[in-house]
Amino acid sequence: MNRPIITSDGSHTLFNVEIGEHYHSIFGAVTESEHIFIRAGLGAISSDLKEIRVLEIGLGTGLNALLAMQWAEDNNKLLDYFALETFPIEKEIVDKLNYPELLGINPERFIAIHEAKSGKETISDQFYFAFQQTTLQESILPLNHFDVVFFDAFSPEVQPEMWTETCFVKIAKAMKQGGILTTYSCKGIVKRALKAAGFQIEKIPGPPGKREFLRALNLR
């Protein structure tokens, strides 16, 4: 069961009652996503790329996808976005989230992201979206394909199976060499797993309420 919560920047997050964890920082959901995934992820990709392929692990509320679409339009980029989510949120919860209003985005686009099926959907002229309801472990990912990965699973404490060397090796194989992965976690087990999977990691100052987070460069 998910319960909407207003965070410090006025944007919603969800609190998952079953696992006892929020989907985003209570210090600001939009602020956190923009800082960790948009600026440190998409913003760090070469400006020469006109088309960028993004993989998101954990679609969740769809906030990262919505911000990525906005970034693509602001920067005249084409984003080919692919997301995995094991437990999509309920439509009645999607309808309550205030992201489109806060960001000045047509709410029909946000709804379209959550209603997308297994095929690729054109959400806007510069944002193609595809979704699979499956786990990372069971997914079949293309090799040498993605430029950017948003790793946004629940924390290592509640989803330890997601933060393993095996999972990160699978992701690395799906990424282009030199591709960028960003994640909010900076725990030692995460850093060790990323390094063992062939990533070069760096710690970056975090958004409000978080001292630092990780950006990883795929060296495979």
Per-position pLDDT tens, the chain of length 220: 899 999 999 999 999 999 999 999 999 999 999 999 999 999 999 888 989 999 999 999 999 999 999 999 999 999 999 999 999 999 999 999 999 999 999 999 999 999 997 678 999 999 999 999 999 999 999 999 999 999 999 999 999 999 999 999 999 999 999 999 999 999 999 999 999 999 999 999 999 999 999 999 999 8
Query: What torsion do the CA atoms of 145, 48, 203, 171 make, to the nearest 10 degrees?
Result: 0
Domains, the chain, ordered by start: 32-218 (3.40.50.150)
Question: For residue 79, what are its two tokens?
Answer: 């984003």
Question: For residue 122, what are its two tokens?
Answer: 């054109």
Positive or negative, the CA dihedral 112, 113, 119, 125 is positive
Rounded to whole angstroms, how far apart are CA atoms 166 and 197?
A: 7
Q: Which amino acid is at 111?
A: I
| pTM of the full structure | 0.96
Count other C-beta atoms under 10 Å from residue 79's C-beta: 24
Rounded to whole angstroms, how far apart are CA atoms 64 and 35?
A: 11
